Structure 1
Amino acid sequence: MNLQLEPDVAFGVHPDLGVVAAVAVDRPFLDEVLRKHHFRYSEHLDVYLLPNDTPYNTAVRSVTSATREFQDAGLSVAADPRIMLPPPIPTPDGVAVRETVPGQSLTALTGELHELRRPADVADVLEQILDEHHGAVGDLEEFIDTAAAWCERLDTPNGRELGLHLRTIAHHVAFLGDQLVNVQLELAVMPDVTPENAPPLAEVPLPMQHEFPSVTHTARFDAAVASSPNRPANILAPHEGVATHPQAAPPKRRAR
């Protein structure tokens, strides 16, 4: 087997520059792919850089998409695992910053379910998404709460209403987490009853999933109810398409 010690492309993380990419040789194809995924060449540093304001998720997608394209072309790629480490969430003074860990993929956990035979193993997977500090359910609740705070910060009738709506949704997510905990506990003590001749999970039909409106439809709705000089926010009435939402109990806060 012929091992290639030097990769064609290497991705890394610089404390000041962010995500960077370096190429072993000057080839038009390498430059084309990196520019396609938002990297720009710095002649002074002789590396490719993402813009300083690139969000974490966008940077990860840029690296993974470019890596896939390079590998499909038969090129070798090396990447610093710290690229997958998200930045810390801003916190008020005196509040401990949550430890950053690599993101957890629900898609990967769903794939794991297809290989499991014992209820206790499924319980272990559920426990991962219910983890108090790094689970997907708690992350979703915190994200929605933060989005609610962003809307409330607008200090407009529409902003306050959307904030209340989002906090109601966060409350539902917390309730969903409680229900999943009950399921997880039941699975943990359930005897191993999966028959050996049970069909593969991929062949078991799943219930129809609810279809959410596209971004275009959502944007049109937002534009229709947005305030304007001819349509002030404070005169929007419920019959004009703006739903009102009851006061929700404050969602439980996540331990940090």
Structure 2
Amino acid sequence: MNLPYEPDVAFGVHPDLGVAAAVADNRPHLDEVLRKHHFRYSQDLDVYLLPEGTPHNPAVRTVAAATREFQDTDLTVAADPRIMLPPPIPAPEGVTARAIQPGQSLTALTGELHELRRSADVAEVLEQILDEHHGAVGDLEEFIDTAAAWCERLDTPNGRELGQHLRTIAHHVAFLGDRLADAQLDLSVMPDTTPQDAPPMAEVPLPSRHEVPSVTHTARARTAVASSPNRPADLPEAPEEAARSPAAPPSPRRTR
């Protein structure tokens, strides 16, 4: 990465060792901040590295937090944009892995809505969320399905039950995506434009939401009998769980 100036700190990606940080000199403050954010100096490579096996999302958050701290003290920071690229999702042999895409921030998309005035522009933002390759709705569905598969791999009654419950939730997410697609289509054909004298979005109160119900006795009973390092996995089910009707069958995954 060729820069027109030498920053105080530069973050990059090592092909084998993950996220790395290089400093312009040996000022104690640079070392202190990097070590505070779990970077460790490698004398052989003359760079700072995160612990081996640090997952992608924590690594990105660590770089962001360290960058803010450096910038708060008027230090210059450069970062390789490839840090934002997530690792490929493992796929069975013979199946093409999903193409790596930089993550989209729902917070950033929500911020975009505050500046839009045309229905068609709002529809375009919704389309990004619904994109079949890297939209937030499809990614959430895939995440829940993967969590369900993880639970089922435990091969215990609790694991199978929770896996089935998660697959039902994934079905609801797919249904939510369909409803959002309907709203996106309606917005795309609406000719409406926000009046010039309309109040800023920040001053418009958000719709009230239904209160989230408290944890049920059944859920507490499930937690009480869940396997843990100090409790065997084959304890009997809570009476409420035994009497409950079977959960809905797993839903077919949407084509992504």
- Fold conserved (TM > 0.5)? yes
2: CA distance between counterparts of 1:18 and 1:224?
40
Residue 247 of structure 1 pairs with residue 248 of structure 2: yes
Report what 1:236 is aligned to. Answer: 237
Secondary structure in 2 matching 1:235: coil
Secondary structure in 2 matching 1:38: coil
1:124-158: CA deviations, max 9, x gaps?
00000000001000000000000000000000000
- Per mean C-alpha deviation after superposition, the further-off stretch among 3-12 and 106-115 is 3-12
2: CA distance between counterparts of 1:61 and 1:140?
20
Do the aligned partners of 1:170 and 1:251 also contact (CA within 8 Å) in 2? no
Report what 1:5 is aligned to. Answer: 5
Secondary structure in 2 matching 1:114: helix
Report what 1:217 is aligned to. Answer: none
Do the aligned partners of 1:142 and 1:254 also contact (CA within 8 Å) in 2? no
1:215-245: CA deviations, max 9, x gaps?
xxxxx88752313687754511242799765
Report what 2:196 is aligned to. Answer: 196
1:80-114: CA deviations, max 9, x gaps?
00000000000001111111011000000000000
Residue 224 and residue 187 in structure 1: after superposition, are their counterparts in 2 closer, same or farther (change >3 A)? same
Alpha-carbon distance, 1:122 to partner: 0.1
2: CA distance between counterparts of 1:10 and 1:222?
48
Residue 202 and residue 251 in structure 1: after superposition, are their counterparts in 2 closer, same or farther (change >3 A)? farther
Residue 166 of structure 1 pairs with residue 166 of structure 2: yes
2: CA distance between counterparts of 1:242 and 1:81?
53
Residue 168 and residue 133 in structure 1: after superposition, are their counterparts in 2 closer, same or farther (change >3 A)? same
Report what 2:150 is aligned to. Answer: 150
Secondary structure in 1 matching 2:252: coil
The code of the aligned residue for 2:155 comes to D
Alpha-carbon distance, 1:38 to partner: 1.1
Do the aligned partners of 1:225 and 1:241 also contact (CA within 8 Å) in 2? no
1: CA distance between counterparts of 2:213 and 2:33?
33
1:14-52: CA deviations, max 9, x gaps?
111111000001011111111111110111111100112
Residue 231 and residue 82 in structure 1: after superposition, are their counterparts in 2 closer, same or farther (change >3 A)? closer
2: CA distance between counterparts of 1:38 and 1:109?
31
1: CA distance between counterparts of 2:41 and 2:221?
40
Secondary structure in 1 matching 2:254: coil
Residue 67 and residue 241 in structure 1: after superposition, are their counterparts in 2 closer, same or farther (change >3 A)? farther
Q: Matched residue pairs, number?
A: 249
Report what 1:130 is aligned to. Answer: 130
**Equivalent residue runs for 1:171-182 within 5 Å:** 171-182=171-182
CA RMSD of aligned residues (A): 2.6
TM-score in terms of structure 2 length:
0.89
Alpha-carbon distance, 1:192 to partner: 2.3
1: CA distance between counterparts of 2:243 and 2:77?
50
The code of the aligned residue for 1:125 comes to V
* Structure 1 residue ranges, 4+ long, deviating more than 4 angstroms after superposition: 209-214, 220-223, 228-232, 240-245
1: CA distance between counterparts of 2:69 and 2:121?
35
Do the aligned partners of 1:86 and 1:102 also contact (CA within 8 Å) in 2? yes
2: CA distance between counterparts of 1:41 and 1:221?
48
1:163-193: CA deviations, max 9, x gaps?
0000000000000000000000000000124
TM-score in terms of structure 1 length:
0.89
2: CA distance between counterparts of 1:202 and 1:7?
37
Between the two proteins, what is the percent identity of the paired residues? 73
Residue 12 and residue 175 in structure 1: after superposition, are their counterparts in 2 closer, same or farther (change >3 A)? same
Residue 134 and residue 30 in structure 1: after superposition, are their counterparts in 2 closer, same or farther (change >3 A)? same
Q: Give the gaps of 5 or more residues in structure 2.
A: 215-219
